[in-house]
Amino acid sequence: MLLHDDSSEAQTNSGEKKDGCQRLSGIQRDGLGKVFINSRAPVLQKSGELSRESALQLSARIRNIGIMAHIDAGKTTTTERMLYYSGYTRALGDVDDGDTVTDFMAQERERGITIQSAAVTFDWKTHRINLIDTPGHVDFTLEVERALRVLDGAVAVFDASAGVEAQTLTVWRQAEKHHVPCVCFLNKMDKPAANLSFSIESIKHKLKANPVLLQVPVGSGRNFSGVVDLLTNQKLTWKQTSTRDDGQVFESKPLDRSDDPELLHEVNEARTALIEQVADLDDEFADLLLTDFSDNFDAVSSSKLQEAVRRVTLARKGVPVLCGSSLRNKGVQPLLDAITAYLPAPDERHHDLVRWYKDDLCALAFKVLHDKQRGPLVFLRIYSGTLKPQSAVHNINRNSTERMSRLLVPFADQHVEIPSLTAGNIALTVGLKQTVTGDTIVASKASAAAAARRAHNAGGAGKRPGEHASVVLSGVEVPDPVFFCTIEPPTMAKQADLENALGCLQREDPSLKVRVDPDSGQTILCGMGELHIEIVHDRIRREYGIETQLGPLQVAYRESVLHGASAADTLDRTVGERRHVVSVELAVAPRDLAAPGGSCEVAFTEELGGQLSTEIKAAVENGVNGAYLQGPLLGYPLQGVATLIQRVTMEPGTSPAMVSACVSRCMLKALRLAGGRVLEPVMSLEVTVGEERLGTVLGDLAQRRGTVRDIQSRHDDKVLLATVPLAEMMGYSTILRTITSGNAAFSLELDTYEAMNQQDQSNLLKRVAGLL
């Protein structure tokens, strides 16, 4: 029997004091309790020049991972336990107490939710883990998107009593889109309703994934005390004592006949199923079993089984599943071991464009923060080369060169300056004032051109050498906002301050859009939901000291056309001594709203396409796309419209700007002739409610023009799946709380845009005109 204390090194060093700081295994705390990473920690810092072999060895011990889940599944609590057991914090933080490391914003601590992703860097045994804790609320889904874009692996946290929930599906789809290998952690195994088989089945059926169960829980509900590792047949038990109940120490012993017979039987069956499942998914392991262990599959060593599980995970053929209870401090250390054992190192992920840079610097900016003292702080994922402070770097997207003044390692809201960082790491830089989310950072223009030449010579890009677009890393997809409202400063003297604040917040959060209404001159704030806009409003007040006024929330509608129509127009204008004459003929028609490749398109007739120069074609497309921004009914952007350019004639000397202007005017004519219809955002709604309140919730949804898609059972509760127009969901959280006496939870996310019926559209037009 072994007693494990995985932070023994940290505990040994914790008593040392030097220069007024308490030293803690790669971290320092000052008297104020602030956390600082010790730059002399062996894994965290490698100063000086590294050979290519040393850099590869170091890279193999790095894990860039994200924690993702539905809201309240326990992501932040799990992160907090990881930091504590790795020796990087001295006290266990609690979301309810508002003292967690990664939820450092005032709004996060007040609400008990994660609003923006936070990066922390720590060591676990011989590995460095760069971890990003992401939000679970749908309003902040961009934070998950941009984190997964640069991460190599992810931990999906599940509430073991609920299984796969609405936002779990969303973040899982995002991970699949970026081909990120995952490990599943069934949290909250101490809840009375926790159910291992139910959670496994929901992963299998809802996520269409292949769960590979690596642990069996010992006990259930309040009696949950540990897990049995199916690879090693070791029983890991966490026992709370009067002297310590932080989960730091746990008991590890092999299963024997003195253990519960039911547990022994369950473990034997689960291990046999595990070996068979891995053999089905991994040919190499299947060959090993048939060759060396044909008489007794169970005799296969745990190391061979672990290697096979790793191959299955990296190939994304299966997802390892572990159990625990982060709040009760059980099962987190094995999860950390699984992260280092099964999730990929940076050099095990294939990034096609990066190889053209060889050993030159190539990095992607995926997040920007504004610091009052330091200015913009840019998070970079380094894919190749080495990053050093006081060096000039080239931003390919902005075609600009900037000087990076300082280089930091992120630790939530505390950062430590370091002399260099190599490929595979996540860095925080100071001094990049023009860089925004999604920009590609390289060493110089020359290195970008060299990479473009290599890609061209190898046939990896269809562009000419020197065209840098061929070696730009793909950026971060930003979703369109669905809510908007007006925002006004208290006095006109504060207008400039408000514009500066909104500019900084937009740079931090690309899903936040700001525009000025051309008619009223008011500033319009566009966001992903009620909570999103509420948080932005609160940040402007707290961080920038501006007491702004918000107008009523409004829905971001779209417009389309009812039928096809053609129009022609001629523009004849003299500017100075130059006469511009251009004639345009075009046709618009509705197209399928769900068609791939975008919501609107522009095309030329075959004959016309061969006659027009590239410059004039671009001018025509600019005119059409400009017209798409404002529909004929209410001025909302158009969606589901196809435009065919049939004729463009002009006299010599006519400028492209005049061509664009004529096309826009002709488009407006055609759109009016085609008849307009309004498209409204329709949300996917999931409500979890007790059976006795289900009828009340259904009745309320019927009044909101909701359509019920399915009603599922989850233990004693019902899960209602429906689609509802966003316009009907204003203040729904308050109403739902009232009609269910606070015994219901819901999640909402954008599903699609659908055409309104004639009566609802007529009412909307009257309301906008002030007639209702």
Residues 370-383: pLDDT tens digits?
Answer: 887 888 889 999 99
Mark 69-87 as b/e (b = at least 16 C-beta within 10 Å). Answer: bbbbbbbbbbbbbbbbbbb
| Confidence grade of residue 48 (pLDDT, cut at 50, 70, 90) | very low
Query: Is 168 annotated for ligand binding?
Result: no
Query: Is 76 annotated for ligand binding?
Result: yes
587-636 confidence digits (pLDDT tens) = 999 987 655 444 788 999 988 888 888 899 999 999 999 999 888 888 88
| Confidence grade of residue 49 (pLDDT, cut at 50, 70, 90) | very low
| Confidence grade of residue 742 (pLDDT, cut at 50, 70, 90) | confident
Distances (CA, A) of 447 to 39, 95, 366, 423, 727: 30, 46, 21, 16, 51
**Could you give the percent of the chain with pLDDT greater than 70?**
89
- Pick from 9-23, 407-421, 562-576, 745-759: least confident: 9-23
pLDDT value at 21 more than 50: no
Query: Is 187 annotated for ligand binding?
Result: yes
CA–CA separation, 636 and 480 (whole Å): 13
| Confidence grade of residue 102 (pLDDT, cut at 50, 70, 90) | confident
Query: Is 69 annotated for ligand binding?
Result: yes
* Burial label, 471 (beta-carbon count in 10 A; 0-12, 13-18, 19+): buried
Distances (CA, A) of 752 to 482, 556, 661: 11, 12, 32
- Is the model more confident about 139 or about 384? 384
- The confidence score (pLDDT) of residue 547 equals 92
Residue in 656, 700, 680, 644 with CA at minimum distance from that of residue 767: 680
pLDDT value at 53 more than 60: no
Q: Tokens for 123, please give them.
A: 């060591």
- Pick from 400-404, 500-504, 629-633, 749-753: least confident: 749-753
Query: Is 330 annotated for ligand binding?
Result: no
Residue in 531, 530, 600, 527 with CA at minimum distance from that of residue 559: 600
pLDDT value at 661 more than 80: yes
- The confidence score (pLDDT) of residue 345 equals 92
CA–CA separation, 321 and 186 (whole Å): 7
282-302 confidence digits (pLDDT tens) = 999 999 988 887 777 888 888
Query: Is 134 annotated for ligand binding?
Result: yes
Report helix, strand and coil shares of the chain as percent, to nearest 5. Answer: 35, 30, 35
- Is the model more confident about 118 or about 352? 118
538-551 confidence digits (pLDDT tens) = 989 988 899 998 88
CA–CA separation, 77 and 326 (whole Å): 6
| Confidence grade of residue 30 (pLDDT, cut at 50, 70, 90) | very low
Most confident range (mean pLDDT) of 45-59, 391-405, 457-471, 520-534 is 391-405
Identify the three-state secondary structure at position 452. helix
Query: Is 133 annotated for ligand binding?
Result: yes
pLDDT value at 228 more than 80: yes
- The confidence score (pLDDT) of residue 6 equals 53
CA–CA separation, 74 and 51 (whole Å): 41
CA–CA separation, 758 and 677 (whole Å): 9
- Pick from 2-6, 37-41, 740-744, 752-756: least confident: 37-41
CA–CA separation, 220 and 191 (whole Å): 8
CA–CA separation, 381 and 361 (whole Å): 11
- The confidence score (pLDDT) of residue 369 equals 86
423-444 confidence digits (pLDDT tens) = 888 889 999 988 999 899 999 9
Query: Is 605 annotated for ligand binding?
Result: no
CA–CA separation, 616 and 117 (whole Å): 44
Query: Is 246 annotated for ligand binding?
Result: no
pLDDT value at 92 more than 90: no
742 DSSP 8-state letter: T
Span between the terminal Cα atoms of the chain, in Å: 76
CA–CA separation, 485 and 526 (whole Å): 7
HEC sequence for 556-590: CCEEEECCCEEEEEEEEEEECCEEEEEEEEEEEEE
pLDDT value at 663 more than 90: yes
Query: Is 93 annotated for ligand binding?
Result: no
CB 628 within 8 A of CB 600: yes
- The confidence score (pLDDT) of residue 593 equals 64
Residue 663 phi, psi (nearest 5): -65, -45
- The confidence score (pLDDT) of residue 2 equals 52
Query: Is 415 annotated for ligand binding?
Result: no
Cα angle 753, 758, 763; round to 5: 95
Q: For residue 516, is it left (φ>0), alpha (ψ between -120 and 50) or beta?
A: beta
CB 418 within 8 A of CB 401: no
Longest dimension (CA), the chain: 102
Mean pLDDT of 217-230: 91
Query: Is 580 annotated for ligand binding?
Result: no
Query: Is 190 annotated for ligand binding?
Result: yes
CA–CA separation, 328 and 705 (whole Å): 43
CA–CA separation, 246 and 351 (whole Å): 41
Q: Tokens for 117, please give them.
A: 């992703």
pLDDT value at 15 more than 50: no
CA–CA separation, 5 and 86 (whole Å): 10
Provide the mean pLDDT of the chain: 83
Q: Within 10 Å of residue 461's Cβ, how many Cβ atoms?
A: 20
147-180 confidence digits (pLDDT tens) = 888 899 999 999 999 899 878 888 898 899 899 9
Strands 386-387 and 421-422: antiparallel
- The confidence score (pLDDT) of residue 768 equals 81
- The confidence score (pLDDT) of residue 575 equals 86
Q: Tokens for 614, please give them.
A: 């590239």
- The confidence score (pLDDT) of residue 218 equals 92
Query: Is 135 annotated for ligand binding?
Result: yes
756 DSSP 8-state letter: P
Query: Is 188 annotated for ligand binding?
Result: yes
Query: Is 72 annotated for ligand binding?
Result: yes
Distances (CA, A) of 151 to 31, 387, 424, 599, 728: 34, 18, 10, 30, 37
640 DSSP 8-state letter: S
Predicted TM-score (pTM) of the model is 0.76
Q: Tokens for 344, please give them.
A: 């990929």
CA–CA separation, 657 and 623 (whole Å): 9
Most confident range (mean pLDDT) of 214-223, 242-251, 712-721 is 214-223
